[in-house]
Structure 1
Amino acid sequence: SVFLFLSAIVNSVSTVTHYSVPEEMDEGSVVANLAADLGIDVKSLSKRKMRVDVVGNKKYLDINKDTGELFILERMDREFLCPLKTATSCFLKLDATIENPIRMFNIEVEILDINDNAPHFRRGTMHLDISESSPVGERFSLNNAADPDVGTNSVKNYHLSSSEHFLIEIQTGRDGTKFADLILKKALDREQQAVHNLILTAVDGGVPTRTGTASIIVRVLDVNDNAPSFDKDKYVVDVMENSPIGSLVIKLNATDLDEGSNSDVVYSYSLYTSERTQNMFNLNPENGEIRVKEMINYEDLKFYEMEVIASDKGSDSLSGQCKLTIQVTDMNDNHPEISIKSFQSPIKENTPTDTVIAVVSVSDKDSGDNGVVDLHIPQNMPFKLRESSDNYYQLVVSQPLDREKVPEYDITFTVTDRGSPPLSDNETMTLELLDVNDNVPQFPQSFYTIRVMENNAPGALLSSLTAFDPDLHENQYLVYFILEKEIANTSMSMLFSINPENGNVYALKTFDYEIEKEFLFHIEARDSGSPPLSSNVTVHIIIVDQNDNAPVIVSPWRAHGSVVEEKIPRSTDKGSLVAKVIALDTDSVHNSRITYQFLQVTDATLFSLDQYNGEIRTMRMFSYRDPRHQRLVVVAKDNGDPALSATVTIKLSTVETAVKAYSDMTEVPLEYDIFSDLNLYLVIGLGSVSFLLLITILVTIVLKCQKPKPSKAAPPSRNSVISERNSTVADSTLVSNDAYWYSLFLAETRKGKLVVRQPVPKGSRYIVSSIPRGTGLTETSDSAASTLQVGDKYLF
């Protein structure tokens, strides 16, 4: 039941009912009919109890319990009820209760202000002492008037009684209060008027208006009637920032026309000068000098304003004032600053041009040109700066990069302002380049000639062909290959090998100059990059000849043994060709040059030997004292080191015969007729005498030329020259590479004449052919040619 009762009470409360009533209403005045406004039946009021409670200390309102009217019980004064002027509204609150059923009402009565109060001054008389020397325009504060009314009913204006020396200026405070300043509009002169009586009237804004007055008594002081005055009312001076402490900014000068102590001026800051300004500059009170007190920084404050008062020392001190503006001149005392916002390192060396690798910002706290900055990097780098926004720059790649030329860059960013002198700052960043496989392996030479001495040992190191790749890591690791090539069905890899890691070239077999003189192939160097790069080089292997073949004597031919027997007429003339030794050497030109010497000779005064062509000639005619048999041992030496040689023993037997002696046979062309007319005559003349002897000689020659039984051919030998038939060398045609034998020579043998012809068209060979005796001149092709095997090669 308690709960239902409280619920009924809560539900019975209605909203606030508001009424407005002007103050000063008479007692008994009806404010409103609550019964009608609240919807209560007046007839039931006698049965239902109504009660009114006033919130406050005094009851100003009441309700007629019979009629339900709200009436004034006692006259109200708004200024008494609401003394604070800060409250714009003044309310009385009532709580009305009616029973059966219970209902509660909140009633709010606003007391409206009426202009029932006049402005008044706290002091009816104000005294002012003003020096006669007070300047026109000087301002004097006056007491303001008070009005308890609010709003438009409060003080709105002031009026000053007529005066030629003074006027007033209305000021409004932050709270809206009006007050007046007395301003001197004309100079005072105590001798003319010592006291000025003024009436100050305060007027409110009510209807009708109400006023209040106060007397102003101005006393004009006659002493010290001249106030100090400055040359200017306002000064503007410039001071350089960072000026030394104690440096003079300005010297203010105020003058006073009075004399004595009334003219002594004291300088001071007014209250309008900020404490910061007073701490920055020192004012000398005696001479008006303003000096720097603390270090001035343009970036902290660009100008200072101050008000300086000059007061004299009279008993009634007078003062004058001026305003001073100190403008700080900027100095270039702040270094520009660099801030690296981003920097990408390392980067690949193939980074495209115009790629951004860094973002840099610059700043300078100075102003003007001192604060304008420029950013630079060295001009010799493949980068450039591009301004992206205000004081922001991008560092971009401007030229292709090459790590092999420059692996890293120390990029110095230098920022410089445009001050005088300019200030700068710098910051260095290191940019590292990452390697890419952009360099082909390079050999120092494009063509290598390697000389290899024949008879080399298999597996011997021939040379080291090392390529260079300026890249790094796997891009620099090289592998070497021999590019496959076949020569005479033989692969290069069967003859040579190369170490894939260091390029060492090895021979896999022993080479023979007489068989293989040179090889030409290619070697490739390939890096391990992705994709790999490669290059190749041509290698020319030249087999160098060794003197490993001894000379072989081919003439005079020694079919059986090493002794050659020859017969010569005892009547042989001086200088006649007795024999010709011919030796061949299958080595190279240098090692195959042959020289001939007598190893043994029976009579050194009888025979001479040409060391170059091997011709043995008589040095004189035979005498009866000379032995019939002569033994000559000839050695043929090559030009090698050490030299190799071969020997032949020639046994000469002198015979008494009518046969034509050997004539001095010199080199003649092939077309020359061997049998000249003179020889023919001699033959015919001697023919009848020696017919029988010729027959004997011919038979002997035929027997000599008979072919012996064929024997098993010896295997090819590098150091031998063997005929396939057991005929004399005169029946053979020989081909040699030795340019030594380019000269022509003619030698007579038992069966014919041996002719060495001029080289064949290629200029590298000569032909040795035989011309049978007793016939005319024939071509080599007409002779019975045999084949000689020389140095494992067949020559025709």
Structure 2
Amino acid sequence: MGVCWGPVVRVLVLQAAWALGGGQVRYSVPEEAKAGTVVGRLAQDLGLEAGEPEARRLRLVAQGRRASVEVSGASGALVVSSRLDREELCGKSAPCALRLEVLVERPLRVFHVELEVTDINDNAPLFPAARKNLSLSENSPPGSRFPLEGASDADVGANAQLSYTLSPSEHFGLEVKSKDENKILVVLVLRRPLDREMMAEHRLVLTAIDGGRPSLTGTMELVISVLDANDNAPQFNQSVYKVQLPESAAPGTVFFQLTATDIDEGINREIYYSFSDAVSGKVQDLFIIDRKSGEIRTAGDLDFEDVQSYDLEIEARDKGWPPLSGHCSVELEVLDVNDNAPEVWVTSLSVPVPEDAAVGTVVALLSVSDRDSGANGRVRCAVWPAAPFGLVATFAGSYSLVLREALDRERVSEYEVEVRAEDGGAPALRASRGVRVPVSDVNDNAPAFAQAVYTVLARENNAAGAELARAWAGARWRAGGWRAASSYVSVDAESGRLWALQPLDYEEVQVLQFEVRAVDAGEPPLCGNATVQLFVVDENDNAPALLPAAGGGPGGGAVVAKIRAVDADSGYNAWLRYELWEPRGKGPFRVGLYSGEVSTARALEEADGPRQRLVIVVRDHGEPARSATATLSVSLVEGAEAALAAAGSSSSGAGLRPAAGAEGGAAAAAATNVWLVVAICAVSSLFLLAVVLYGASRWAPRAAVLSGPGPATLVCASEVGSWSYSQRQSRSLCVAEGAGKSDLMPGYPAGCL
């Protein structure tokens, strides 16, 4: 148990130390360390076991500059890879800290490492020139001071703390004092009066010694020429002038006016101004002094990010002989303006993102910086659009792009995310970086039909194998409805086409209802369902069929017989009309167009003959129309025979003969009246029955229209109030006495319940 718990305890301790340290590892290495020098055991400090650095691809990411260090792949140690020169890396900045990022994969994490490069005393003090020439009037009073340019040391800290010594001289001494914490003022002081006739030139050696161990030195030779006459040097009203100038100042901007005075007279009081030899040529390229007026103006562009201040040593020299000079210092402070936009880098990107990725998943690592300082260099970051991603600050200038909301590839398959950075300047400057984030698919959507129910119309007598509809790809189906749909239709599993397996017969089946299921190829597969209602449209494929005719009675205009026919079709295809085909012209008989009743058209005459042969054609209203022909033989009888014929007429026909005498006419009239009363009562009863059935059907459930199969009768009223019959496999009832032709249209006629 001790062996197992040892690594765990060590990891917990490291994690605790990591949390207390703010998530940052700090190392220190002296400059000029040899390549291969181990800076620190990075993998061990990050809590990685042996072998994990290589397995998890521990790698180093430097920000903005060459790191000169690398991570050993096998051991995970941070080692020096190339020459480390602190002065090259950081200049005079102290401490010299390099910010590094260490990435560990599986899972992806980022750690921050701060590497401090410490200074060693590898730079000796350096004067701007090996020799300095000075001209001093012989009447210069003791105590006269002559500023000298001090040496510079590229090192920092104690290694750059300089002290000065002057070679022994009875006339000159050296005064060294701190001008500020970063600068030492070196002044040559005249201790005793000069005598040009005794010594016209003095040669001294100024030595600068740094504070390193061991210390390094630099020297400069001072050649002092003693001049005669002009014994008053120009004087400034103060030795140091402080000036501020924004870095955005345009070249040619006048920022200071020098003024020096000389109490001499004549040519000895005429003054011209110039930069002291202590001012480097690079600085003199940035500024211009008007030799006569003393105006100082800019000659180039200032950049706060490169240099924050300038110390301009000014010399005012008169025109006397020997010329005398006065000195002052103009300390120019460069003010920062917001002239640098933020910069955004994507240091790591993990795409595509699966659409089922958990909220909080890290998508990318970003680094943000701004070269400005203060508020101008403080950067705020945001991500646009605001969803479904967000930014999390992991360290100063480092952010993680993380998932804030659940993804749906079917809604958005790819995101163009823009990381926007804005600094705190006025006006603020902005920068952005686009990140393309594709979303990978997972099987989370079942197939969906455009409709829950599909309606398909198919004409009867279609050919077997005919395509009925096309709606679904990769579908499976199962049948349902009035009878097994699988005997009539088939759905292709790949194309989704609906095929007819056999011709459809409207008189056999009017509606097929079945379910179609679509299944995708995902893992696991998902499916969706839809209902298909296939309505069979009637075709005029049945001719009218004749029934035995009914006999009529005698009398003028009386009904002789009634032709009866039925049609197995429906709607217009079953709407029948009757026409008298023979004899043509003005015969004694006529046929009701829709009733089929054969009646007398006029009074019978002897010339009409004892027997009439009538040919009647029965047609439906289909396209094209179908017909049947009936032949009716009518025999003409007289007197009592006519009455007997009226009472007992057969289906083959009926005969009428004119009555002879008053009694015969009265009998015929009485018989006719009886039949009329019977007919009126029958029609009234049927009309009442139709009204009752119509009202009942209006209140009955509509589902009765789509009831199951079985023999039933569709009864429709004709225009003339008689009845025709059609056999159908339906339980619908149509009552429309006196209705127009639209009542008999195919499909769902008006008035059908």
TM-score after normalising by structure 1: 0.54
Tell me whether 1:340 sits opposite 2:346 in the alignment: yes
Alpha-carbon separation, structure 2, partners of 1:520 and 1:498: 13
- In structure 2, the CA distance between the partners of 1:388 and 1:735, relative to structure 1 (3 Å rule), is closer
Residue equivalent to 1:654: 636
Residue equivalent to 1:624: 606
Q: Tell me if the contact between 2:713 and 2:725 (Cα under 8 Å) persists in the aligned partners.
A: no
Aligned CA-pair RMSD:
4.2
Structure 2 SS opposite 1:737: strand
Structure 2 SS opposite 1:556: strand
| Alpha-carbon shift at residue 435 of structure 1 (Å) | 1.7
Tell me whether 1:445 sits opposite 2:451 in the alignment: yes
| Alpha-carbon shift at residue 311 of structure 1 (Å) | 2.9
Equivalent residue runs for 1:216-295 within 5 Å: 224-241=230-247, 243-270=249-276, 272-273=278-279, 276-295=282-301
Residue equivalent to 1:402: 408
Structure 1 SS opposite 2:375: helix
Alpha-carbon separation, structure 2, partners of 1:624 and 1:334: 127
- In structure 2, the CA distance between the partners of 1:484 and 1:763, relative to structure 1 (3 Å rule), is closer
Structure 2 SS opposite 1:405: coil
Tell me whether 1:423 sits opposite 2:418 in the alignment: no
| Alpha-carbon shift at residue 602 of structure 1 (Å) | 7.1
| Alpha-carbon shift at residue 333 of structure 1 (Å) | 2.8
Tell me whether 1:531 sits opposite 2:524 in the alignment: yes
Alpha-carbon separation, structure 1, partners of 2:713 and 2:518: 42
Structure 1 SS opposite 2:487: helix
Greater per-residue helix proportion = 2
In structure 2, give the amino acid aligned to 1:258. Answer: D
Residue equivalent to 2:714: 737
Structure 2 SS opposite 1:591: helix
Which residue among 483, 504, 519 is the counterpart of 2:512?
A: 519
What does the per-residue CA deviation read over 1:166-212, in whole Å, with 9 as the maximum and x for residues that have no partner?
9999889xxxxxx996669xxx9xxxxxxxxxxxxxxxxxxxxxxxx
Equivalent residue runs for 1:304-703 within 5 Å: 304-379=310-385, 381-466=387-472, 478-485=473-480, 488=483, 491-556=484-549, 572-601=554-583, 604-658=586-640, 661=643
- In structure 2, the CA distance between the partners of 1:361 and 1:765, relative to structure 1 (3 Å rule), is closer
| Alpha-carbon shift at residue 309 of structure 1 (Å) | 2.7
Q: Tell me if the contact between 1:593 and 1:740 (Cα under 8 Å) persists in the aligned partners.
A: no
Alpha-carbon separation, structure 1, partners of 2:142 and 2:422: 55
Residue equivalent to 1:764: 733
Structure 2 SS opposite 1:739: strand
- In structure 2, the CA distance between the partners of 1:616 and 1:276, relative to structure 1 (3 Å rule), is same
Alpha-carbon separation, structure 2, partners of 1:635 and 1:235: 131
| Alpha-carbon shift at residue 261 of structure 1 (Å) | 1.7
| Alpha-carbon shift at residue 647 of structure 1 (Å) | 1.4
| Alpha-carbon shift at residue 295 of structure 1 (Å) | 3.5
| Alpha-carbon shift at residue 284 of structure 1 (Å) | 4.2
In structure 2, give the amino acid aligned to 1:591. Answer: N
Q: Tell me if the contact between 1:309 and 1:321 (Cα under 8 Å) persists in the aligned partners.
A: yes
In structure 2, give the amino acid aligned to 1:372. Answer: R
Q: Tell me if the contact between 1:576 and 1:663 (Cα under 8 Å) persists in the aligned partners.
A: no
| Alpha-carbon shift at residue 316 of structure 1 (Å) | 4.9
What does the per-residue CA deviation read over 1:608-643, in whole Å, with 9 as the maximum and x for residues that have no partner?
211111111112232333311111111111111111
Residue equivalent to 2:133: none
Residue equivalent to 1:749: none
Q: Tell me if the contact between 1:403 and 1:433 (Cα under 8 Å) persists in the aligned partners.
A: yes
| Alpha-carbon shift at residue 351 of structure 1 (Å) | 2.2
Alpha-carbon separation, structure 2, partners of 1:170 and 1:587: 131
- In structure 2, the CA distance between the partners of 1:418 and 1:322, relative to structure 1 (3 Å rule), is same
Q: Tell me if the contact between 1:638 and 1:644 (Cα under 8 Å) persists in the aligned partners.
A: yes
Alpha-carbon separation, structure 2, partners of 1:513 and 1:756: 17
**Count of residues paired in the alignment:** 480
Alpha-carbon separation, structure 1, partners of 2:347 and 2:147: 62
| Alpha-carbon shift at residue 294 of structure 1 (Å) | 4.2
Alpha-carbon separation, structure 2, partners of 1:653 and 1:567: 12
Equivalent residue runs for 1:715-734 within 5 Å: none
Q: Tell me if the contact between 2:310 and 2:333 (Cα under 8 Å) persists in the aligned partners.
A: yes
Alpha-carbon separation, structure 2, partners of 1:379 and 1:535: 34
| Alpha-carbon shift at residue 686 of structure 1 (Å) | 7.8
Residue equivalent to 1:79: none
Structure 1 SS opposite 2:625: coil
Alpha-carbon separation, structure 2, partners of 1:129 and 1:764: 139
Structure 1 SS opposite 2:486: helix
Q: Tell me if the contact between 1:573 and 1:620 (Cα under 8 Å) persists in the aligned partners.
A: no
In structure 2, give the amino acid aligned to 1:737. Answer: L
- In structure 2, the CA distance between the partners of 1:640 and 1:322, relative to structure 1 (3 Å rule), is same
In structure 1, give the amino acid aligned to 2:393. Answer: E
- In structure 2, the CA distance between the partners of 1:352 and 1:337, relative to structure 1 (3 Å rule), is same
In structure 1, give the amino acid aligned to 2:608. Answer: D
| Alpha-carbon shift at residue 331 of structure 1 (Å) | 3.0
What does the per-residue CA deviation read over 1:14-49, in whole Å, with 9 as the maximum and x for residues that have no partner?
xxxxxxxxxxxxxxxxxxxxxxxxxxxxxxxxxxxx
| Alpha-carbon shift at residue 138 of structure 1 (Å) | 4.2
Q: Tell me if the contact between 1:555 and 1:580 (Cα under 8 Å) persists in the aligned partners.
A: no
In structure 1, give the amino acid aligned to 2:325. Answer: S
| Alpha-carbon shift at residue 271 of structure 1 (Å) | 5.4
| Alpha-carbon shift at residue 745 of structure 1 (Å) | 5.5
- In structure 2, the CA distance between the partners of 1:763 and 1:496, relative to structure 1 (3 Å rule), is closer
- In structure 2, the CA distance between the partners of 1:280 and 1:167, relative to structure 1 (3 Å rule), is closer
Alpha-carbon separation, structure 2, partners of 1:483 and 1:532: 18
Alpha-carbon separation, structure 2, partners of 1:735 and 1:274: 118
In structure 1, give the amino acid aligned to 2:500. Answer: A
Structure 2 SS opposite 1:625: helix
Q: Tell me if the contact between 2:488 and 2:504 (Cα under 8 Å) persists in the aligned partners.
A: no
What does the per-residue CA deviation read over 1:567-604, in whole Å, with 9 as the maximum and x for residues that have no partner?
96xxx322211001111111112211110010112773
Q: Tell me if the contact between 2:548 and 2:563 (Cα under 8 Å) persists in the aligned partners.
A: yes
Q: Tell me if the contact between 2:315 and 2:325 (Cα under 8 Å) persists in the aligned partners.
A: yes
Query: Any gaps of 5 or more consecutive residues in structure 2?
Result: 1-135, 149-167, 178-186, 194-225, 648-662, 669-710, 736-753
TM-score after normalising by structure 2: 0.57
Alpha-carbon separation, structure 2, partners of 1:278 and 1:567: 138
- In structure 2, the CA distance between the partners of 1:435 and 1:168, relative to structure 1 (3 Å rule), is closer
Q: Tell me if the contact between 2:594 and 2:719 (Cα under 8 Å) persists in the aligned partners.
A: no
Alpha-carbon separation, structure 2, partners of 1:376 and 1:171: 54
Alpha-carbon separation, structure 1, partners of 2:263 and 2:587: 158
Query: What percent of counterpart residues are identical?
Result: 34
What does the per-residue CA deviation read over 1:393-448, in whole Å, with 9 as the maximum and x for residues that have no partner?
22122333222333222223333333344433333222111122222222222211
Structure 1 SS opposite 2:636: strand
In structure 2, give the amino acid aligned to 1:333. Answer: D
Q: Tell me if the contact between 2:712 and 2:731 (Cα under 8 Å) persists in the aligned partners.
A: no
Structure whose CA Rg is larger: 1
Q: Tell me if the contact between 1:602 and 1:631 (Cα under 8 Å) persists in the aligned partners.
A: no
- In structure 2, the CA distance between the partners of 1:663 and 1:613, relative to structure 1 (3 Å rule), is farther
- In structure 2, the CA distance between the partners of 1:573 and 1:272, relative to structure 1 (3 Å rule), is same
| Alpha-carbon shift at residue 231 of structure 1 (Å) | 2.8
Q: Tell me if the contact between 2:582 and 2:614 (Cα under 8 Å) persists in the aligned partners.
A: yes
| Alpha-carbon shift at residue 292 of structure 1 (Å) | 2.8
